[in-house]
Structure 1
Amino acid sequence: MNATEIAKLQTYLQKLFSNDALEVKARVNLTDSVEVFLKGEHIGLIYKDEDEGETSYDFQMAILDFDLE
């Protein structure tokens, strides 16, 4: 993903969750996905999918069982 897409994703997530502490950053040597951070802590990945002329973004976040306690 390019810098423009990354900035748009970050702005979207910050507005959606009303949280300016969310950051979206490029991954080293990978262009199909970006990392999502909250207050400096990695919370997930966003993957870009292009199919039949349409582009979508898939946010993936793992939640560990001990985090729920």
Structure 2
Amino acid sequence: MSTISPGEIARLQVCLRRLLGSQGLTVNPPPRPGLSVELAVNGEVIGTLHRDDDEGEVSYNLNIVLLEEDLPAKA
């Protein structure tokens, strides 16, 4: 996995807002060097983004974390 540049962060935010239909979504640079780029909705971090460069083909992996405590009550 390689580092995501500030320009890529901006482009990813535009793309993810469009794909997921949420203007409250933000892609944030790592809080410290060496950490992951964070995906947040309305300020709450919900996952991380990672860049993969395989033989010149670039892709981005999104890992979203859902906590049991955030799910609706069981029926």
TM-score under structure 1 length normalisation: 0.88
Q: Deviations over 1:15-51 (max 9, x none)?
A: 01111110001102027x4101100000100011111
User: C-alpha root-mean-square deviation of aligned residues, in Å?
Assistant: 1.3
Displaced runs of 4 or more, over 2 A: none
Q: Which runs of 5+ in 2 are unaligned?
A: none
Deviation, structure 1 residue 54: 0.6
Unmatched segments (≥5 aa) in structure 1: none
Q: Which has the higher contact order (CA 8 A, sep 6+)?
A: 2
Aligned-pair identity in percent equals: 38
Matched, 1:46 2:43: no
What does residue 33 of structure 2 align with? 29
SS in 1 for 2:29: strand
Instruction: State how far apart, in whole Å, the 2-side matches of 1:36 and 1:62 are.
Output: 10
- Tell me the TM-score normalized by structure 2: 0.82
Considering fraction of residues, name the structure with more strand. Answer: 1
Figure out how many residues of one structure are paired with residues of the other and give that number. 68
For the pair shown, the structure with the greater C-alpha radius of gyration is: 2
